Amino acid sequence: MHSQRTVTTYYDQLAPDYDENRFGNSYGQYLDAQERKILRAWLPEASYPDNLDLGCGTGRLLDFAGHGLDASAPMIGEARKKYPEKDLIVGDATTPPFGAARFANVYSFHLLMHLDADKVAAIFRAAHQYLLPNGLMIVDLPSAQRRRLVNYRASNWHGAFGASPQEVRQLLGDDWELVAYVGIGFFPVHRIPVRWRPTLRKLDDWLCRSPLRHLSSYLVYILRKQ
């Protein structure tokens, strides 16, 4: 099993190039747009200052939160350049220094997929403590069913953890209500010739919300603290 240090060191080194490397291309821009659409739909604008971006990295999605936490100091350093006024701290999402009920909502993108089931469960437990009553937790995970379909094999820790909606339900127990889940990336739209992309995106959007959505590349879960 990989250590947290392996994961953090990887992002320490990637920090200066992360935005360009991951989100400067058409696939990254597509993911970014889809994730923003989901956050806009579920988080009331008035809650933004009281929300937490868990594993906020370089602050790509920090415009939806007043607070951010990340294990990598260089990633937080990049985020601080963009948002010097926000409350951004270095820390581990499994053991965050937040105490009881203080955030309205928490969201976390591209984090849980790097961890194992025990750490993911620890993150849900901690979030249950620091969220205010009825707070939402919005997280993404690779779809296990999609991965089985395409025979995906992770070569190392990077993005290795995936789950099906049934497995997520089991992980959550009675602490959370699974309010909804939506897909991201049903088709590899970024590999399709540019002139067909607008049409395919519409179909992609529709499939990501259809009964077949569990076959999208990623699933974004909207959970409510019970």
Ligand X SMILES: C[S@@+](CC[C@H](N)C(=O)[O-])C[C@H]1O[C@@H](n2cnc3c(N)ncnc32)[C@H](O)[C@@H]1O
Does residue 139 belong to the site contacting ligand X (CB under 6 A)?
Answer: no
- Interaction residues for ligand X, span 48-107 (CB under 6 A): 55-57, 60-61, 70-72, 75, 92-94
Does residue 130 belong to the site contacting ligand X (CB under 6 A)?
Answer: no
Smallest gap from Cβ 1 to ligand X, in A, equals: 14
Minimum CB distance to ligand X smaller for 158 or for 202: 158
Minimum CB distance to ligand X smaller for 56 or for 222: 56
Minimum CB distance to ligand X smaller for 8 or for 217: 8
C-alpha–C-alpha distance, residues 147 and 142, integer Å: 8
Residue listed under structure tokens 């002139």: 195
Smallest gap from Cβ 67 to ligand X, in A, equals: 13
Does residue 112 belong to the site contacting ligand X (CB under 6 A)?
Answer: no
Number of residues that bind ligand X (CB under 6 A): 20
Minimum CB distance to ligand X smaller for 43 or for 111: 111
Nearest Cα neighbor of 82 from 68, 103, 92, 97 is: 68
Smallest gap from Cβ 125 to ligand X, in A, equals: 14
Smallest gap from Cβ 38 to ligand X, in A, equals: 12
Minimum CB distance to ligand X smaller for 114 or for 225: 114
C-alpha–C-alpha distance, residues 48 and 151, integer Å: 39
Residues in Cβ contact with 114 at an 8 Å cutoff, skipping those fewer than 6 apart: 7, 157, 158, 159, 160, 161
- Interaction residues for ligand X, span 8-37 (CB under 6 A): 8, 11
Smallest gap from Cβ 152 to ligand X, in A, equals: 18
Question: Among all residues, whose Cβ is closest to ligand X?
Answer: 57
* Binding region for ligand X (CB under 6 A): 4, 7-8, 11, 55-57, 60-61, 70-72, 75, 92-94, 109-111, 114
